[in-house]
Amino acid sequence: MMSWALWVGLVLYVVGLVTVFGLRSVLQYRATGDSGHRRPHHRPGSVGWWAAVLLAGAVGVGAVGPLLALTGAVGVPAVLAVPALAGGGLVLMVCGFAGVLAGQQAMGLSWRVGVDDTERTALVSAGLFRHVRNPIFTAMVVAYIGLLATVPTWVTALGLVCLIAGVELQVRQVEEPYLIRVHGAAYRRYAAGVGRFLPRLGRL
């Protein structure tokens, strides 16, 4: 496997995470006095708890995967060690992280990581949210698919599975019930016309 692809994939992934979570949190705090992060308080073993575990695990595995490949602890199948595949993966990563930033920008002061059941934020339906209800999660998956194309190992593939499973649980079992409870008919109307992760797919 081309070591340059592993290094670039790792660096791009880490820089992307620092930008979309770290830098965004700093900007949010400067604007509102609140970082936007909400600690999960789910009962261990509950659906919300598993969603948080899977999402956190996926983020961690995304960094570990390239490191294991670089040290030779995990191999890359020769058939997948293709420069074009790695290059395409890097493009997807850039597009994915750019999509996350665009989604965060559209959310403005309503941007949050996690859900606080006692909090009420504005219902966002502008920007990317006009086309899909969860553009940030969609963009995260796109970036991770790019990482897998750049670092095609079973470890990275496992991370992608964890990410998709965590996103599905978080959205369906945690966020959507919260939004229906807080925004009621307004959210139902919005969700009836806009897809969950892709345009027109997963409407309620």
pLDDT tens series, the chain, 204 aa: 578 889 999 999 999 999 998 888 887 878 777 776 777 777 888 988 999 999 999 999 999 999 999 999 999 988 888 899 999 999 999 999 999 999 988 888 777 887 877 788 889 999 999 999 999 999 999 999 999 999 999 999 999 999 999 999 999 999 999 999 999 999 999 999 999 999 989 998
Instruction: Give the single-character DSSP code of 122.
Output: P
| CA distances for 104 relative to 44, 62, 129, angstroms | 29, 21, 10
Instruction: Compute the distance between CA of residue 109 and CA of residue 192 in angstroms, rounded to an integer.
Output: 25
Instruction: Give me the sign of the Cα torsion angle 134, 135, 136, 137.
Output: positive
| CA distances for 30 relative to 18, 111, 199, angstroms | 17, 13, 33
Report the pLDDT value the prediction gives residue 204, as an integer from 0 to 100. Answer: 87
CATH architecture, domain 3-193: Up-down Bundle (1.20)
Which residues does 186 contact at the CB level (< 8 Å), separation at least 6? Answer: 123
Facing residues of 59 across strands?
A: none
The structure's pTM equals 0.90
Round to the nearest angstrom and report the end-to-end CA distance of the chain. 44
The domain segmentation of the chain, as residue ranges, is: 3-193
Full DSSP string of 37-89 = B----PPTTSHHHHHHHHHHHHHHHHHHHHHHHHHTSS---GGG--HHHHHHH
